[in-house]
């Protein structure tokens, strides 16, 4: 027996490694080697040893094979990711697992053995899995990766395994999907995706997540795109996972978004055998899901994603008719109409975007589309929508021949519109009668009414693009449209469409205004019609012209309103609303001035002004919109009415406030010189008003509108007030706007565009940085537990990025300013002298210095000023934090190295003689070295003071009044730091109220408060005596970190 054992072991030792040596070199020999390895496995399994007096057997051969196999796995587990030999071995192991389980199933079927006895294959799989699960806990990331990779290949072909092993396997994979290494998580997700198909949710304990729930969380929340991608491609597609998959159309990773369309939606339109519609077939999806897919795909910022969405739409066109296809009568037009029937044409523009994409990509459709006369005679929403979008497509692509072949004759289209509108009116009358009898309309009747309204609207859009050279057709269309807007029953949605056609048909704006004013008078002259019937003797006089009609009715208006019933009053209000809608549409299409169109004077006094004074919100809203549109074309009216609009902002409800704000910003954009003139005081008052509203406004929508309007004015250069920029930055970073995504998205776009578009704008942001940082940094530590706010480091990083001169766009006659970051470094250095700034904020500013851009050429005065500030900062305000100290030392060294030539002849004594640098030295001489707090130690600070008299003067001899200190910095700004006193309110409206806070030079120690105390101190001579012994060693350390400039007594730093 020992000889037999050694023979089997020798055979396995010689053959198994040879097989794996072959399979690691090529996948072409895998099938052959699988068969050979299976033969060895069977031969070894045939060798057993009897135990317990022959009552049982010992599977000696199987154990030998399993040990040899596990030895090979151990060797392969050490092969790094990306090595092709290791990947081929993994594939071979997975293929072998599949093969032995298939062979075992065949043998079991042939023997009709239905019991649950173990087989050679099941025992082998359990041993290998148990071995691999040990590697899941390995410290080496490569070993963990290979073990999980082996399992991912094997898990789909495991066959039957014990419940205990399944639980252990599931638990181990749950842990590995949260592994710190991305490539390990990828393989764990693949394995878990294959395993979740066999999971029974009823077997999962209460409170424990299912495998599918874990995968959905990974799909949505894993920070690595590769892991999310693996989850997307391997997760089982079902009704439970579909919404999560579709949500990935808004993923941050471009490839991920593209794969949703190309690998999921296109590939799963039908089931695998093509016999039935799949879960993502367009006819199976809901309208909301279809619109989500198309909106996100065609609206994506990446061309690759848009292309994938267009390919999906092309496939949808071919499969949209589903199972009702008839190949003999199939036409491209029918396919397109079938696709359009799957969208809601009336509520969104998604269907239009989808159809334009199909016409652009499918030339086999767009080149053969024709609309015969019979097509226009039988219009449905889908048919008229197809025709209208096709016309727009031809116009956009300048396809004149296609356009001529598609458009109907003007007269014919006019008759079609008239017939459709007459039918619509008849249906309204019938519906009104049914409402009296039955009550409310059914849902089907309401949908039919909306469809007919939609058809008329689309035909009117087509009418805008017709050729009106035919005078008969032009007159027919003009009369038809004029009659339609004169009808009270005309739906509100069709008013604008009719006015578009009327504008095309009118020779000029004056004619358009005249027609609309006539219609308004006809609609409002209801009481006059009754008077005409009662007093026929006056008929000739009143019909001599239309203008006397409103004059005669005007005095009767107030009397009739008191005597009217509620129904009559409601009807007149409805007529006024219709007239106001007509006026809004007309004024939106007028570009001339108000003075050029005197006809508008009548409706202004008779309709618009009374509507503004009404208490009813709807009438007042439309009246204000009309008045605002009039102000856009009437400068004098805008000046007189502007205060009215501002008053409405303060008192009106949210809906009306939004409308009025839109009007106000439009007026400011049009009449900039009259309201935002830099020389007058009106601009400051308007700005203060906006900032006050922004600070105290509760509504998210109003906040967003204010930020958008102010951002537009600032970006256009109409507002240059620093307070507006400060308030916008505060609104962008404030914790209470974190849920107002409209504000965040607007300002996230505005600040980079504003800063990169001009060096002047970058310079303005650089000037505001320190003051805003000192104000916002404390707020980051005072937010509530329920709120979130970016850290001071992130705030500083944003400003560094916004002021980076390398990102500025070159504008003609306005070169980029490459010294912005040099000035920003000087501002930061001045701020770091402030002993009231806490250690954490100082550390952030020290770290910022290393991120600044150092240009090749810098003005000598600027770089020497910065060097002087850094030297004094290092000597008088040393910081204990090692990271901050290293950051300052590195920046100082970089300055000294990069500008060595300019600093070589730098002499502080000569520098002090320059008159324009007097403020700088007053600032430095006024700095009082600290003797407590976080600084290193007192003797060191005093040693530097005694050694270099030119850098720090005697404290008792350098008392400077507050006024001179406040003007010390050459780049000071009186409004920069006042915000530091504010609480968590994010807006600044009182920045000019405080005069006792120093601005931008950051000299916070007030001499009037601290100097008397220090002057009376007797510790100063003691400190000087204490440092004489170790003076040289400490000075040498400081000089190595930051070589100072030449001092007044002529001493130079040591080499």
User: What count of Cα atoms within 13 Å lies in the side-chain half-sphere of residue 827?
Assistant: 30
Assess contact for 729 and 798: CB atoms under 8 A. Answer: no
DSSP H helical segments within 833-877, as ranges?
839-849, 860-876
pLDDT at 858: 86
pLDDT at 762: 92
pLDDT at 920: 65
Mean of pLDDT values over 138-154? 93
> From the CA atom positions of the chain, what is the Rg in Å?
41
Q: State yes or no: pLDDT of 548 exceeds 80.
A: no
Least trusted range by pLDDT, from 104-118, 333-347, 815-829, 858-872: 104-118
Residue with the larger pLDDT of the pair 568 and 962: 568
Q: State yes or no: pLDDT of 467 exceeds 60.
A: yes
Assess contact for 199 and 211: CB atoms under 8 A. Answer: yes
pLDDT at 593: 86
pLDDT at 52: 67
Give me 935's structure tokens: 């600084």
The confidence band for 1018, taking pLDDT boundaries of 50, 70 and 90, is very low
Question: 3-state secondary structure string, 184-241?
Answer: HHHHHHHHHHHHHHHCCHHHCCCCCCCHHHHHHHHHHHCCCHHHHHHHHHHCCCCCCC
**Across all residues in the chain, what is the average pLDDT?**
80
pLDDT in tens, 393-403: 999 998 888 88
Mean of pLDDT values over 329-336? 79
pLDDT at 929: 60
Cα 255 to chain centroid distance, Å, stands at 18
Q: CA 1015, CA 955: separation in Å to the nearest integer?
A: 8
Residue 518: count of CB within 10 angstroms of its CB: 14
Q: In sequence order, what are the residues at sequence separation of 6 or more whose Cβ sits closer than 8 angstroms to the Cβ of residue 259?
A: 229, 232, 233
Assess contact for 415 and 430: CB atoms under 8 A. Answer: no
Assess contact for 523 and 578: CB atoms under 8 A. Answer: yes
Pick from 460, 471, 458, 373: which is nearest to 414 by CA?
Answer: 460
Q: CA 798, CA 205: separation in Å to the nearest integer?
A: 48
pLDDT in tens, 37-73: 999 988 888 887 777 666 677 788 888 888 999 999 9
Pick from 155, 154, 145, 147: which is nearest to 196 by CA?
Answer: 155
Number of H helices, E strands in the chain: 54, 2
Q: CA 874, CA 888: separation in Å to the nearest integer?
A: 8
Three-class secondary structure of residue 56 per DSSP: strand
Assess contact for 359 and 366: CB atoms under 8 A. Answer: yes
Assess contact for 495 and 485: CB atoms under 8 A. Answer: yes
Give me 774's structure tokens: 């000192």
Least trusted range by pLDDT, from 142-156, 435-449, 525-539, 943-957: 943-957
Phi and psi at 907, nearest 5°, equal -130, 120
252: DSSP letter:
S
Q: CA 766, CA 768: separation in Å to the nearest integer?
A: 5
DSSP H helical segments within 465-597, as ranges?
471-485, 492-505, 509-524, 526-534, 539-543, 548-553, 556-563, 566-588
Three-class secondary structure of residue 969 per DSSP: coil
pLDDT at 651: 83
pLDDT in tens, 275-326: 788 889 999 999 999 999 999 999 999 999 999 999 999 999 988 876 554 5
pLDDT in tens, 355-370: 999 999 998 888 888 8
pLDDT at 680: 63
Pick from 357, 317, 347: which is nearest to 454 by CA?
Answer: 347
The confidence band for 988, taking pLDDT boundaries of 50, 70 and 90, is very low
pLDDT at 915: 54
Give me 583's structure tokens: 């006026």
Pick from 966, 981, 1000: which is nearest to 770 by CA?
Answer: 1000
The confidence band for 926, taking pLDDT boundaries of 50, 70 and 90, is low
Rounded to 10°, the helix 303-319/332-340 angle is 110
Query: From residue 591, how far is each of 338, 596, 670, 1035 by CA, in Å?
Result: 42, 10, 12, 75
Q: State yes or no: pLDDT of 1026 exceeds 50.
A: no
pLDDT at 557: 43
pLDDT at 555: 40
The confidence band for 1035, taking pLDDT boundaries of 50, 70 and 90, is very low
The confidence band for 899, taking pLDDT boundaries of 50, 70 and 90, is confident
Which helix or strand (DSSP H or E) is residue 310 part of? helix 303-319
Phi and psi at 217, nearest 5°, equal -65, -40
pLDDT at 663: 95
pLDDT at 1008: 37
Q: State yes or no: pLDDT of 985 exceeds 80.
A: no
Rounded to 10°, the helix 443-464/492-505 angle is 10
Assess contact for 1024 and 926: CB atoms under 8 A. Answer: no
Assess contact for 989 and 688: CB atoms under 8 A. Answer: yes
Please tell me the pTM assigned to this model: 0.74
Mean of pLDDT values over 130-141? 92
Q: State yes or no: pLDDT of 560 exceeds 90.
A: no
- Name the pairing type of β-strands 56-58 and 49-51: antiparallel
Give me 1055's structure tokens: 């080499």
Q: CA 796, CA 597: separation in Å to the nearest integer?
A: 55
Percentage of the residues of the chain whose pLDDT score is greater than 70 = 79
Phi and psi at 957, nearest 5°, equal -100, 0
* CA angle centred on 611, ends 605 and 613, rounded to 5°: 95
Assess contact for 366 and 394: CB atoms under 8 A. Answer: no
CA dihedral 323, 329, 335, 340 (to 10 degrees): -90
The confidence band for 957, taking pLDDT boundaries of 50, 70 and 90, is very low
The confidence band for 710, taking pLDDT boundaries of 50, 70 and 90, is very high
Q: In sequence order, what are the residues at sequence separation of 6 or more whose Cβ sits closer than 8 angstroms to the Cβ of residue 759?
A: 805, 808, 811, 814, 815, 816, 817, 820
Give me 892's structure tokens: 């100082």
Least trusted range by pLDDT, from 26-35, 158-167, 903-912, 974-983: 974-983
pLDDT at 314: 92
The confidence band for 930, taking pLDDT boundaries of 50, 70 and 90, is low
Q: CA 578, CA 526: separation in Å to the nearest integer?
A: 14
Class of residue 954 by CB neighbours under 10 A (exposed 0-12, middle 13-18, buried 19+): exposed
Place of tokens 């592994």: 179
Residue 1046, beta-bridge partner list:
907
The size of the chain, in residues, is 1055
The confidence band for 352, taking pLDDT boundaries of 50, 70 and 90, is very high
Residue 495, beta-bridge partner list:
none
Mean of pLDDT values over 846-855? 90
Q: State yes or no: pLDDT of 978 exceeds 60.
A: no
The confidence band for 535, taking pLDDT boundaries of 50, 70 and 90, is very low
């Amino acid at each position: 027996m020992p000889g037999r054992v050694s023979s089997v072991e020798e055979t396995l030792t010689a053959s198994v490694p040879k097989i794996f040596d072959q399979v690691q070199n090529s996948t072409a020999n895998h099938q052959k080697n699988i068969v050979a390895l299976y033969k060895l496995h069977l031969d070894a399994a045939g060798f057993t040893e009897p135990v317990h007096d022959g009552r049982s057997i010992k599977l000696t051969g199987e154990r030998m094979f399993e040990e040899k196999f596990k030895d090979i796995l151990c060797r392969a587990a050490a092969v790094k990711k990306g090595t092709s030999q290791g990947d081929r071995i993994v594939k071979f192991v997975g293929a072998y697992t599949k093969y032995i389980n298939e062979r075992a199933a065949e043998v079991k079927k042939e023997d009709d053995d239905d019991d649950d006895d173990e087989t050679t294959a099941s025992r082998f799989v359990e041993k290998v899995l148990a071995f691999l699960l040990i590697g899941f806990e390995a410290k080496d990331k490569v070993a963990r990766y290979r073990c999980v990779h082996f399992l991912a290949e094997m898990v789909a072909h495991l066959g039957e395994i014990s419940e205990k092993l399944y639980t252990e396997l599931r638990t181990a994979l749950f842990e590995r999907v949260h592994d710190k290494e991305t490539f390990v998580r990828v393989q764990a997700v693949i394995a878990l995706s294959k395993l979740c198909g066999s999971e029974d949710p009823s077997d999962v304990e209460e409170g424990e997540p299912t495998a599918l729930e874990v995968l959905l969380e990974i799909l949505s929340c894993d920070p690595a795109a590769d892991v999310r991608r693996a989850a997307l491609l391997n997760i089982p597609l079902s009704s439970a996972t579909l919404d999560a998959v579709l949500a990935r159309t808004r993923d941050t990773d471009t490839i991920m978004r593209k794969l949703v369309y190309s690998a999921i939606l296109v590939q799963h339109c039908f089931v695998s055998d093509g016999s039935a519609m799949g879960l993502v077939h367009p006819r199976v999806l809901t309208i909301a899901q279809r619109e989500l897919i198309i909106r996100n795909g065609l609206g994506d910022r990446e061309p690759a994603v848009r292309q994938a969405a267009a390919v999906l739409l092309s496939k949808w066109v071919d499969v949209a008719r589903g199972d009702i296809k008839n190949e003999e009568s199939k036409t491209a037009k029918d396919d397109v109409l079938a696709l359009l029937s799957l969208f809601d044409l009336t509520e969104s523009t998604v269907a239009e975007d989808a159809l334009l994409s199909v016409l652009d990509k499918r030339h086999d459709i767009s080149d053969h589309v024709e609309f015969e006369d019979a097509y226009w005679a039988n219009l449905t929403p889908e048919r008229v929508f197809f025709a209208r979008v096709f016309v727009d497509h031809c116009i956009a692509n300048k396809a004149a021949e296609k356009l001529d072949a598609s458009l109907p004759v003007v007269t014919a289209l006019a008759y079609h519109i008239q017939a459709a509108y007459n039918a619509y009116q008849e249906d309204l009358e019938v519906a009104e009668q049914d409402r009296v009898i039955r009550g409310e309309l059914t849902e089907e009747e309401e949908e039919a009414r909306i469809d007919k309204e939609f058809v008329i609207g689309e035909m009117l859009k087509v009418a805008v693009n017709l050729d009106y050279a035919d005078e008969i057709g032009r007159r027919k269309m003009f009369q038809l449209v004029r009659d339609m807007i004169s009808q009270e029953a005309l739906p509100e949605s069709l008013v604008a469409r009719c006015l578009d056609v009327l504008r095309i048909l009118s020779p000029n704006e004056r004619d358009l205004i005249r027609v609309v004013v006539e219609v308004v008078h006809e609609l409002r002259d209801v009481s006059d019609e009754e008077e005409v019937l009662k007093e026929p003797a006056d008929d000739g006089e009143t019909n001599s012209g239309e203008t006397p009609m409103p004059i005669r009715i005007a005095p009767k208006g107030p009397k009739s309103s008191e005597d009217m019933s509620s129904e009559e009053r409601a009807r007149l209000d409805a007529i006024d609303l219709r007239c106001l809608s007509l006026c809004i549409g007309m004024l939106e299409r007028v570009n001339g001035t108000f003075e050029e169109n005197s006809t508008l004077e009548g409706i202004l006094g008779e309709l618009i002004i009374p509507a503004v004074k009404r208490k009813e919100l709807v009438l007042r809203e439309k009246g204000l919109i009309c008045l605002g549109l009039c102000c856009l074309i009437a400068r004098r009216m805008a000046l007189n009415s502007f205060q009215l609009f501002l008053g409405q902002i303060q008192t009106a409800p949210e809906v009306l406030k939004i409308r009025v704000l839109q009007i106000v910003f439009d007026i400011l954009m049009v009449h900039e010189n009259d309201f935002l003139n830099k020389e007058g005081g009106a601009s400051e008052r308007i700005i203060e008003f906006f900032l006050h509203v922004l600070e105290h406004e509760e509504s998210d929508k109003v906040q967003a509108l204010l930020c958008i309007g102010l951002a537009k004015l600032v970006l256009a250069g109409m507002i240059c007030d620093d307070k507006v920029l400060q308030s916008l930055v505060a609104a962008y970073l404030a914790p209470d706007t974190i849920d107002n995504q409209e504000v965040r998205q607007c300002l996230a776009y505005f600040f980079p565009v504003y800063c990169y578009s001009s060096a002047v704008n970058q310079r303005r942001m650089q000037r505001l940085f320190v003051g805003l940082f000192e104000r916002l940094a404390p707020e980051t530590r005072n937010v509530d537990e329920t709120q979130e706010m970016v850290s001071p480091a992130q705030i500083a990083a944003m400003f560094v990025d916004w002021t980076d001169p390398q990102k500025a766009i070159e504008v003609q006659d306005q070169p980029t300013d490459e010294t912005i970051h040099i000035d920003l470094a000087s501002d930061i250095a001045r701020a770091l002298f402030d002993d009231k700034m806490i250690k954490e904020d100082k550390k952030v500013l020290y770290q910022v210095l290393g991120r600044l851009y150092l240009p090749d050429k810098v003005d000598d005065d600027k770089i020497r000023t910065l060097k002087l500030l850094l030297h004094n900062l290092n000597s008088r305000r040393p910081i204990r934090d090692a990271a901050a100290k290293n950051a300052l030392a590195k920046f100082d060294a970089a300055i000294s190295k990069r500008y060595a030539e300019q600093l070589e002849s730098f002499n502080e004594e000569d520098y002090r003689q320059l008159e324009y640098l007097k403020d700088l030295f007053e600032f430095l001489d006024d700095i009082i070295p600290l003797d407590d707090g976080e600084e290193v130690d007192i003797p060191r600070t005093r040693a530097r003071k005694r050694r270099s008299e030119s850098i720090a003067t005697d404290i008792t001899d350098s008392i400077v009044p507050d006024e001179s200190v406040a003007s010390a910095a050459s780049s000071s700004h009186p409004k920069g730091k006042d915000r530091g006193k504010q609480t968590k309110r994010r807006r600044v409206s009182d920045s000019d109220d405080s005069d006792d806070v120093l601005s931008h030079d950051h000299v916070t120690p007030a001499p009037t408060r601290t100097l008397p105390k220090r002057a009376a101190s007797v510790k100063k001579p003691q400190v000087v005596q204490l440092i004489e012994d170790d003076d040289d060693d400490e000075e040498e350390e400081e000089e190595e970190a930051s070589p100072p400039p030449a001092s007044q007594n002529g001493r130079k730093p040591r080499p």
